A and B are shown apart, each in its own frame.
Chain A
Amino acid sequence: MTIAAEPAAPIVALTGAAKHFGPVRALDGVSLSISPGDCLGLVGHNGAGKSTLVNVVNGGLSPSAGSVDFPASGATTALAAGVRSVFQELSLCPNLTVAENLRISHSALRGMNWRAPARAEIRAALDEVFPGHGIDADATVDALSIAERQMVEIAIGFAPRGTEARLVILDEPTSSLDAGIAEQLLSHIKRFCAQGGAVIFISHMLGEIFEVATRILVMKDGKVVAERAAGGFTRQGLVDAMGHVATEAAAAQAARVHGEEVLHTPEGLRARKGEIVGLSGLAGHGQAEALARLYLGATSSWRSPREAGMVFVAGDRGRDGLLPLWSILRNTSISILPQIAKRGLVDRDREAAVAAEWKKRIGIRTDDVTNPILSLSGGNQQKVLFARALASSAPVVVMDDPMRGVDVGTKQDVYAMIRAEAAKGRTFLWYSTETEEVCQCDRVFVFRNSEISAELTGEAITEERILEASFEMEGA
């Protein structure tokens, strides 16, 4: 902790930093200072505001309120202050070589003869962090394995690049590294901090956090809910601090009886008739991909059956869901056109009747279903996508985080609709990043690193169990 009066000025100091995206408070007044020698472990649930905090610190986002200063260097930009970020999603240029990628973030390399120093610098950086790495500085990045790319990215983060790295932000740096390489990284972080550098370390491996962090910061709903020296937390205490969502609904549904198994994928996803199956875990751990594989595998054949066996509700409306130029009516009826067609022509009257029925049942707030789809609010657009899926007779409904950016009222309407449809014998596969939603399911599969790490049913579905399965609890 900072009680031991650091003589050096903090590298970065946030005072009441906040970031709002419309009504969403992604970061809600965070004050934080990081001094040389600090290794800050940052943990929190999905959407707790970790990424927003990181982006505010590294200058990717400017705060809506509050301020970000760099007292140690007196610089005005994060880049000049020596703040570096290594992002979770790989952010190298795959068409360039390793040395050329260093050149991108090293503007001090000038002149025609920059290659030799670039090669030397990236080699030195790689050797320092990952001794015995075996990566060629002239290899094109797309010829490297994912782990090697991650290593290069980390090495570029720590490389001097003409100035000096003062604060390196590592967002899930070990997610694609094996244990031995990860260990090399952790010991380098310790060395780096001992020499007066600072690190912000984000990881879902709590063991790693405890190993390197001097301080641990727990975030929830855009706020810092706990900040203590690493010794001040136990693993269980950390998990408890991360999330408390009321789970009053969980117990009520354990008694429901389900029919025969309708679905069983090779990776272990199972579902029975009439069951609501949740997919949970941290965002980006393969849930959406698992659903996409399942759905595309079942539907994308040359000779598609007249009636679909499975329908899809998109979460990313713009990318996967809406037909933005079409009306509400036609956006709804697209899934059932083959069923309501007469001799290959669309039956306009039946189409209108179906749309009117679903407008009433699911409560789409519009005067006229022939209005353009984009005239609706986000929540109502999502209702249209639900109506599209539920209007078909498909027995299995696949939902890819469908409640993204949907208001609470709509959510309650849709939950009720899902339960009613499940009671009639439909099966729902529901990926959600919100644990509260997952707790309403009959069976939950928790994903970690693209694999199912736990299957929970009935009363075992609790926030704690899901969190435990999402985070790697080494030895716990």
Chain B
Amino acid sequence: MGFFARYRILLPVVSLAVLLAATFYMQPRAMSYFGINLLFNLAVPIALATIAQMMIIMVNDIDLSLGAFVSLVACITATFLNDSPMLGALILLALVLCYAALGAVIHALELPAIVVTLGMSFVWGGLALFILPSPGGSSPGWLRTLMTVKPPYIPMAVCASVIIAVVTHLLVIRSGLGTVLRGVGGNARSVQRAGWPVVRLKALAYGLAGLFGVFAGMALVGLTTSADANIALRYTLLSIAGVILGGGEFTGGKVSPVGAVIGALTLTLAASFLSFLRLSPDWQIGAQGAILILVLTARLLFTRRDAQA
């Protein structure tokens, strides 16, 4: 077995390091406590959304509604959670349960997740507009404090990323339940034969996705202090790209939480890097795509070479 096949995490780490080095070379002033926090603080909600997407990809499905869902959560956080915390918390809990129920329905009725989640994205989007027709609301004070906390030596964004990576690694890779969940992605029939209720496992995976989606929306509001019904629409594709950049695969339950967080950081950094290059914003989306293609090509080349060796 080849080097890169054994250490799948290596390529995302190298990509991030190369991009970081290039950014610091372009803009040496970014190499400070404040600079790093500025570069990465918007990566925290993206990392959480990427973890949410990873939970779904882990069981061989894909979630096209994540961006709309995170936007809805942001709207609820900026209104209900701020005005009447109890009601807001209940609504968010209901949303998580909704996600779990979606997972159960998708499995029980053998519906394609891509269609169901695409449909749900309009439901979430509609609800978000209903709650917050025009941009506004405000972040609960404690959330704002949490997201702007200044720990000594290490910026908040880096701390948060490390915590997210460690917690989800323990949950998905180390724990027994996480192992079974990955097994569902690898070979659902074998898991079923071993006596596991696959429908409950799928509901659990979706429920976890909902939970991390809620965290993503809350973190976003904590950073931006207000919300908008379209605030996180691009998270859908960013989160998918983050999972894949981090060494995950679309099928087969091959995911890496640490990789996913690194993928999210890489994508966020790519945007800043392109700004430092003074690239016109019109070209940035395309350039971001080019970086993505570059990394994926590298991965393909390495795995091919490993397969031959």
User: Residues on A close to B: CB < 8 A?
Assistant: 60, 79, 85, 91-96, 100-101, 103-105, 107, 109-112, 114-115, 143
**Chain A interface helix/strand/loop/mixed:** loop
Q: Which residues of A contact B190 (CB under 8 A)?
A: 91-93, 104
Q: Which residues of A contact B187 (CB under 8 A)?
A: 91-94
- Contact partner of B183 among A60, A100, A109, CB < 8 A? A100
Q: With A91-B187, A95-B186, A95-B252 in contact, is A105–B175 under 8 Å at CB?
A: no
| A-B CB contact pairs (8 Å), 14 listed | A92-B187, A93-B183, A93-B187, A94-B252, A95-B183, A96-B182, A96-B183, A103-B176, A104-B191, A104-B196, A112-B174, A114-B176, A115-B174, A143-B5
Q: Which residues of B contact A111 (CB under 8 A)?
A: 176
Are the CB atoms of B179 and A103 closer together than 8 Å?
A: yes
- Give the shortest distance, in Å, between A209 (CB) and chain B (any CB): 25
Given contacts A104-B190, A114-B176, 14 further A-B contacts (CB under 8 A): A79-B195, A91-B190, A96-B182, A96-B183, A100-B179, A100-B182, A101-B183, A105-B193, A107-B195, A110-B176, A111-B176, A112-B170, A143-B1, A143-B5
B128-156 interface (Cβ within 8 A of A) = none
Q: Which residues of A contact B309 (CB under 8 A)?
A: none
Q: Which residues of A contact B196 (CB under 8 A)?
A: 104, 107
Are the CB atoms of B5 and A95 closer together than 8 Å?
A: no
Are the CB atoms of B175 and A96 closer together than 8 Å?
A: no
- Contact partner of A95 among B1, B185, B193, B194, CB < 8 A? B185
Are the CB atoms of A93 and B191 closer together than 8 Å?
A: yes
Among B5, B175, B182, B194, max chain A CB count under 10 A is at: B194
Q: Which residues of A contact B176 (CB under 8 A)?
A: 103, 109-111, 114
Q: Interface size (B, Cβ < 8 Å)?
A: 23
- Give the shortest distance, in Å, between A84 (CB) and chain B (any CB): 10
Interchain residue pairs A-B with the least CB separation, the first 8: A93-B186, A105-B194, A95-B186, A91-B190, A93-B183, A93-B187, A95-B253, A95-B254
- Give the shortest distance, in Å, between A280 (CB) and chain B (any CB): 29
B189 within 8 A of A: yes
Report the bound CA distance from A96 to B190 in whole Å. Answer: 12
Q: Which residues of A contact B252 (CB under 8 A)?
A: 94-95
B180 within 8 A of A: yes
- Give the shortest distance, in Å, between A292 (CB) and chain B (any CB): 22
**Chain B interface helix/strand/loop/mixed:** helix
Among A85, A96, A107, A114, max chain B CB count under 10 A is at: A96
Report the bound CA distance from A103 to B179 in whole Å. Answer: 8
Are the CB atoms of A60 and B193 closer together than 8 Å?
A: yes
Name A80's closest neighbour in chain B (CB-CB).
B195
Are the CB atoms of B175 and A112 closer together than 8 Å?
A: yes
- Give the shortest distance, in Å, between A284 (CB) and chain B (any CB): 17
- Give the shortest distance, in Å, between A148 (CB) and chain B (any CB): 12
Report the bound CA distance from A92 to B179 in whole Å. Answer: 13
- Give the shortest distance, in Å, between A436 (CB) and chain B (any CB): 32
Report the bound CA distance from A72 to B239 in whole Å. Answer: 53
- Contact partner of A94 among B174, B179, B186, CB < 8 A? B186
Q: Which residues of A contact B254 (CB under 8 A)?
A: 95
Name B192's closest neighbour in chain A (CB-CB).
A60
Q: Which residues of B contact A85 (CB under 8 A)?
A: 193
Q: With A79-B195, A104-B194, A143-B5 in contact, is A91–B180 under 8 Å at CB?
A: no
B232-280 interface (Cβ within 8 A of A) = 252-254
- Give the shortest distance, in Å, between B204 (CB) and chain A (any CB): 15
Q: Which residues of A contact B194 (CB under 8 A)?
A: 104-105, 107
Are the CB atoms of A104 and B183 closer together than 8 Å?
A: yes
Report the bound CA distance from A143 to B306 in whole Å. Answer: 11
Are the CB atoms of B182 and A93 closer together than 8 Å?
A: yes
Q: Which residues of B contact A115 (CB under 8 A)?
A: 174
Are the CB atoms of A104 and B174 closer together than 8 Å?
A: no
Name A78's closest neighbour in chain B (CB-CB).
B195
Are the CB atoms of A91 and B189 closer together than 8 Å?
A: yes
Name B190's closest neighbour in chain A (CB-CB).
A91
B181-216 interface (Cβ within 8 A of A) = 182-183, 185-187, 189-191, 193-196
- Give the shortest distance, in Å, between A289 (CB) and chain B (any CB): 20
Name A99's closest neighbour in chain B (CB-CB).
B179
Q: Which residues of B contact A107 (CB under 8 A)?
A: 194-196
Report the bound CA distance from A93 to B182 in whole Å. Answer: 9
Q: Which residues of A contact B183 (CB under 8 A)?
A: 93, 95-96, 100-101, 104
Among A79, A103, A104, A105, max chain B CB count under 10 A is at: A104
Report the bound CA distance from A60 to B194 in whole Å. Answer: 11
- Contact partner of A96 among B1, B179, B195, CB < 8 A? B179
Name B185's closest neighbour in chain A (CB-CB).
A95
- Give the shortest distance, in Å, between B306 (CB) and chain A (any CB): 10
Q: Which residues of B contact A105 (CB under 8 A)?
A: 193-195
Q: Which residues of A contact B5 (CB under 8 A)?
A: 143
Name B255's closest neighbour in chain A (CB-CB).
A95
- Give the shortest distance, in Å, between A376 (CB) and chain B (any CB): 24
Name A85's closest neighbour in chain B (CB-CB).
B193
Q: Which residues of A contact B174 (CB under 8 A)?
A: 112, 115
Are the CB atoms of A103 and B189 closer together than 8 Å?
A: no
Are the CB atoms of B253 and A103 closer together than 8 Å?
A: no
Name A141's closest neighbour in chain B (CB-CB).
B186
Q: Which residues of A contact B186 (CB under 8 A)?
A: 93-96
Are the CB atoms of B253 and A93 closer together than 8 Å?
A: yes
